[in-house]
Structure 1
Amino acid sequence: MKHEDAKEAKFLNLVDRVSACEKCPRMKGSARVLGPGCGPLDAPLMFVGEAPGRLGADGSHLPFHGDKSGHNFEKLIEQVGVSRYEVFVTNAVLCNPKDEKGNNATPTSSEISNCAPFLRETIDILDPAIVVTLGAVALKACGAIETHAVSLREHVRTSRTWMRRTLIPVYHPGQRAMVHRSFANQLSDYQFVAETLRRFKKPHKKASSAKPRSEAAKLGLVARRALRGRANGLSYFALHKLCFLAEIASLESSGERLTNAYVVRQKDGPYFVDLHLAKLPQLIPGIQTWSERGKVMLRLAPQLGFLEADDQPALGKSDEEAIEKVLAKYGRMPDAELKRVVYLSRYMRALLRKEKSAGANLYNAAVLPYLPQT
């Protein structure tokens, strides 16, 4: 068995045991958030948070995705040039702890202790070079696995050796932590993390000196192309599928993706993390959303039904051609037919074959390849 296959088998076995865990009474109704959606098993960098959020990972099953903490985290790593394709994200406690009113609660010492063996095993399986703790609870949980003398207040933006790897403490990206450490300061902390990560990665050819547009912004342009001229709206479901088909068209024609946005497999097919409903108003100002026959529908406000001239060069001629080709062929397809086309793509078929051979559910596994810019 190849090393990569053995590592994946160990990880999936761990996921099964986490899914069956019932050690913490108040966690019984919460999701066990550990699986392919956490990130690649060869990631050099692991983020460890506190626990899944009620409005975030407890529903999305993607750590730090779907709530305000998740949006802040995704914005922080993107702004310092770190992709979710190259990091593994988990928590000290793998289920959402709720208080008697059903709101998020801080994990107890016993709950942290119950999950500590899972955290240790995850670190042992992945063997990351760098572990970044998000907040005091995560830092304390790592100290329970192997003692350290690292303090969040005193050692932020520094690194220490821990378990033969580099340990970096940063503040939690939640709104309460922002009171103690502003977003701007946290951005500097994440810049330190990004610089540390780059020292561990293989050097690439020198990139262009031009500042690249963010993956979210580029994806926003693709989404606006799909929404243009749709006065009656486009389903949220279809938006994700058309963006996915545009990525494939670009890959097949040029060998490059339109964006390096993070795409995972969910029950209804590919899902772009950057197209979370709560993010769309910032990604596409003025976008309108409503519900129709149980579907979320989208359209551009009338004044945004065209594209501004300064957006035109952002994607390039070959990218524009890939998008227009996809929209001409699939743009008016019913959702059910669009889903069929997506599932017949070689990327989805490859993931389904892998899922069958592994005998495991690979929901939230990455679908498209990550192609670092060189």
Structure 2
Amino acid sequence: MADKEQQFVDLVRRVKACQRCPRMADSARVLGAGCGSLSAKVMFIGEAPGRLGADASELPFHGDKSGHNFESLLEQVGLSRYDAFVTNAVLCNPKDENGNNATPSHSEVANCAPFLKEQLELVGAPVVVTLGAVALRATALVTAHTLTLKDSVRKAHPWAGRQLIPAYHPGQRAMVHRSFANQLADYQFIAEAVRRGSGAVRRKPSAKLSRASEKVGAAARVLLEESGELSYFALHKLLFMAEVRHLEAASERLTEGYYVRQKDGPYCVELHASRLAALIPGCYTRTIGKHLMVSLGQEDLLGGASQVDVLSAAARRTLAEVATKYGHLPSAKLKTAIYLTAPMRELLRREKTLRMNLFNSAVLPPP
């Protein structure tokens, strides 16, 4: 695994230095630890990073509407980013003359095809899912096939020693051609293919929040009940601290949330700002300067008992202890405390060994 990780680091460095496509010179090269596990069960290939999503966050399919749809589809069929490696046919955001998202040209897709080939070989996922026609065409540049999206969607095709499953892009424009309900059925098919390969038990899709999101929302509610109003920054950091403390004490995760390393410390992917109202019913947000603040109304301080029932008594105690010890700290001191935890120290050691920032890398082990 260490050798594979070093090969991936070398690939990332070459991608970061790439200047093959002039109109993408100023775009982020979205390949790195945030793509997921190099031992993933399934590899998702999109078209290109979105201007408001991965081009900004450098976390593929996160932060914009396409990312929200993608994460929702994964959740509803019981998959998570722990299972997946997520990338794009073109690793930079192509923009038109107005600065909006544009479809990558054939030459731009061809320029990135060697990088896609290396990712496929390094990860070796037994199931490969293309999201949209551009991604499907890109795979044909790696190993030839004649599949078309319209005729091949929701089918598993033998390809390069793997199963290739074409799916539609989760963006809003693609929903016109294939509704969210149809795409949900596609993702259920994908999930079953992944589970057949891993021996996992079949499960039905659910429109409810995933178990991971339920627990993240419940844990956030406990922290808000204990601490009062918190900054969005502090909410993420306190959640992470509670995860670490619970893992140390009980040898198990407090939630099933996916935490990644960002420049200002750990960030819980499930707790994106756009999802706060769904995850923490009745919460309020306001902006003070540059800071997003989150709180519960007085009526909600007494009404969240049923939500937090998904957490064990031990988990709730851990959250209360973390809120008491760290909830009052200013941001700088809270960040220092976070960076002194064992998972963050280990990640920093890996960064030093690899001589590379592992931004968006998973910080905690899978649940």
* TM-score, length-scaled by structure 1: 0.93
Please list, as runs of the form range in 1=range in 2, the aligned pairs for 1:206-225 lying within 5 A after superposition: 214-225=211-222
Seen in structure 2, the aligned counterparts of structure 1 residues 213 and 118 have a Cα distance that, compared at 3 Å, is closer
1:146-183 per-position Cα deviation (integer Å, ceiling 9, x unaligned): 21122211221110111111100111100111111111
Q: Distance in 2 between matches of 1:51 and 1:191?
A: 24
Structure 2 match to 1:165: 162
**Residue matched to 1:88:** 85
Distance 1:307 1:242, change over 3 A: farther
Q: Partner of 1:343 in structure 2? A: 339
Are 2:40 and 1:43 equivalent residues in the alignment? yes
SS at match of 2:257: coil
Per the alignment, residue 274 of structure 1 pairs with 270
Q: Tell me the residue number matched to 1:360.
A: 356
Which amino acid in structure 2 is aligned with residue 300 of structure 1?
L
Candidates 306, 314, 317, aligned match of 1:318:
314
For residues 335 and 305 of structure 2, the distance between their equivalents in structure 1, rounded to whole angstroms, comes to 33
Amino acid at match of 2:192: E
1:38-117 paired onto structure 2 within 5 Å? 38-117=35-114
Instruction: Give CA-to-partner distance per residue, 1:176-198, whole Å, 9 cap, x none.
Output: 11111111111111011001001
Residue type of the partner of 1:265?
A: R
1:331-350 Cα distance to aligned partner (Å, 9 max, x none):
21221111111110000000
Q: Say yes or no: does 1:299 pair with 2:295.
A: yes
Q: Tell me, yes or no, if the aligned pair for 1:69 and 1:175 is still in contact at 8 Å.
A: yes
Contact kept in structure 1, 2:49 and 2:90, CA below 8 Å: yes
The one-character-per-residue Cα deviations of 1:291-332 (angstroms, maximum 9, x if unpaired) are 224322222233323343322421121211111121122121
Partner residue of 2:171? 174
Output the CA distance in 2 between the equivalents of 1:39 and 1:271: 15
In structure 2, the partner of 1:236 is 232
Task: Provide the C-alpha distance between the structure 2 equivalents of 1:309 and 1:355, rounded to a whole number of angstroms.
Answer: 41
Of residues 131, 135, 138, the one that matches 2:135 is 138
> How far apart, in 2, do the equivalents of 1:7 and 1:69 lie?
30
* Letter matched to residue 294 of structure 1: K
Give the structure 2 partner of residue 183 of structure 1: 180
* Residue aligning to 1:199: 196
CA contact (8 A) 1:229 1:305 kept: no
Post-superposition Cα deviations, 1:245-296, rounded to whole Å, max 9, x if no partner, equal 1111221121111111110000110000111111212222343222224322
Question: In the alignment, residue 297 of structure 1 is paired with which amino acid?
Answer: M
Q: Which amino acid aligns with 2:301?
A: G
- Amino acid in structure 1 at the alignment position of 2:21: C
Letter aligned with residue 136 of structure 1: A
CA RMSD of aligned residues (A): 1.7
Aligned to 1:12: 9
1: distance between equivalents of 2:185 and 2:343? 36
Residue 143 of structure 1 aligns to which amino acid in structure 2?
A: A
CA distance in 2, matches of 1:309, 1:117: 53
Instruction: Give me the TM-score of the superposition, normalised by structure 2.
Output: 0.95
CA distance in 1 between counterparts of 2:146 and 2:255 reads: 41
Letter in 1 for 2:120: I
Structure 1 residue 11 displacement after superposition: 0.6
- 1:133 is paired with a residue of what secondary structure? strand
Per-residue deviation, 1:213: 5.3
Code of the aligned partner of 1:273: V
2-structure distance, mates of 1:44, 1:305: 41
CA distance in 2, matches of 1:18, 1:184: 36
Shift of the 197–288 alpha-carbon distance from structure 1 to 2, 3 Å rule, reads: same
| Letter of the structure 1 residue corresponding to residue 155 of structure 2 | T
* Deviation larger for 324-333 or 287-296: 287-296
The 1:224–1:309 alpha-carbon spacing in structure 2 relative to 1, beyond 3 Å, is: closer
Is 1:285 aligned to residue 281 of structure 2? yes
Q: CA deviation at 1:230?
A: 5.1
Question: Tell me, which stretches of 5 or more residues in structure 1 are unaligned?
Answer: none
Q: Distance in 2 between matches of 1:241 and 1:5?
A: 29
Deviations 1:199-242 (A, max 9, x none): 111458x99xxx995211210111111122655x3111100011
Q: Taking every aligned residue pair, what percent have the same amino acid on both sides? A: 55
Partner SS for 2:238? helix
Q: Does 1:252 align with 2:248?
A: yes
Q: Which amino acid aligns with 1:245?
A: M
Q: For this pair of structures, how many residues does the alignment match?
A: 363
SS of the residue 2:309 aligns to: helix
